[in-house]
Amino acid sequence: MPVQNPAGESVISEERISSRRMGQIEYLRVSVTDKCNLRCRYCMPQEGITRLAHDDILRLEEWARIIRIMQELGITKVRFTGGEPLVRKNLIQLIKDVHALDGISQIAMTTNGILLGEQAADLREAGLTHVNISLDTLNPRTFEEITRVDALNQVLSSIEKALQAGLQVKINCVPCQEWNGEDLTDIAALARQYPLDVRFIELMPVGCGSQYHGISSDRVLEKLEQQYGRAVPVQANNEKGGPAKYYDFAGFQGKVGVISAMSHQFCGSCNRIRMTAEGRLKLCLHYQDGIELRPLLREGRTDDEIREAIVEAVRQKPRAHDFAHTAEHTDADQRRMVQIGG
């Protein structure tokens, strides 16, 4: 089954195909919902988006089946995203189902942290091992400016409750010239205050993000070294094939990482694929290319047929993104991040 865009057209060009084998793909990102309880400026407009119809979103039992098939193909790490994954009802049961699969070594989640505190212990008991919490500032006024919600204290409380529950915690921060350039050293200091890692992720021109101006990873490290001394490169645990480069700072309990999606492309080592809430297997964040798995699930296709479709799609995974020239690509994905899956 050829890789197609959402209109059903085969669009991927031969020169852009990486010929990646499924055995090289170990990491699956699953967007379980397009709903979110924040309105972060680089992700979603204030009025929100036109949400998917209920029947268009994969059911939890469909997700469980897809993830099981993916595990049989070599996936060892699953990350639940959104939207905001914790607004999805009964997500804990899906985590339990995935935890029961042999071969899944890590179950992670990316969340804004608003609802995490009240569920952290139950999530850990269900099998969640890692949580990434999106946090771009420690300034309450700036937090509300970015997210359009006054909820910084809830997020800070959730960080502590996640650590208390035994979850491995990372903070994801997107440096942006428009609002948090002066807050980066304070965010990094969370890795000194707590046993967690802080990662600075370069802003990618996806959806609303194209309206703002990111700060390069090199500039972030320069700011941090001015404040905390030399950044010593280190190898992070459990980051095989991951995009982050990690550093130690004297006196810090955790590490500080940078993800240079724009300034230092890392596509050659990409070991991940992602699925949107409506069941589209996406091969690269930048491009539309992918395959719709929801029809296969609902047409009564066998596991073998679905497995074959996934393997064929992964063979056509693009070599690299080209965000720097998005306007020149008719096959670039123009949707907002909340619609694609974080």
Q: CA 88 to CA 30: how far, in whole Å? A: 12
User: Would residue 239 count as lying in a domain?
Assistant: no
What is the separation, in whole angstroms, between the first and last Cα of the chain? 26
User: Would residue 5 count as lying in a domain?
Assistant: no
What does the pLDDT look like over 260-305, one tens digit per residue?
877 776 566 678 899 999 999 998 866 767 899 999 999 999 999 9
Q: Which residues contact 234 (CB under 8 A, 6 or more apart)?
A: 246, 247, 248, 255
Return the pLDDT at 267: 64
Residue numbers in the chain where pLDDT is lower than 50: 1-3, 5-7, 9-19, 321-323, 325-335, 337
CB 31 within 8 A of CB 110: no
Q: Which residues contact 196 (CB under 8 A, 6 or more apart)?
A: 159, 163, 168, 169, 170, 171, 190, 253, 254
Domain span at residue 325 reads 14-170+269-340
What does the pLDDT look like over 217-236, one tens digit per residue?
999 999 999 999 999 999 86
User: Would residue 100 count as lying in a domain?
Assistant: yes
Burial of 262 (0-12, 13-18, 19+ CB in 10 A): middle
User: Would residue 36 count as lying in a domain?
Assistant: yes
Size (the chain), residues:
342
161: CATH: 3.20.20.70
3-state secondary structure of 145: helix
User: Would residue 224 count as lying in a domain?
Assistant: no
Return the pLDDT at 85: 98
Q: CA 340 to CA 332: how far, in whole Å? A: 12
User: Would residue 133 count as lying in a domain?
Assistant: yes
Tell which residue, 308, 252, 293, has the closest CA to residue 57. Answer: 293
Q: How many domains does the chain have?
A: 1
User: Would residue 213 count as lying in a domain?
Assistant: no
Return the pLDDT at 319: 61
User: Would residue 85 count as lying in a domain?
Assistant: yes
Return the pLDDT at 247: 98
Read off the pTM.
0.86
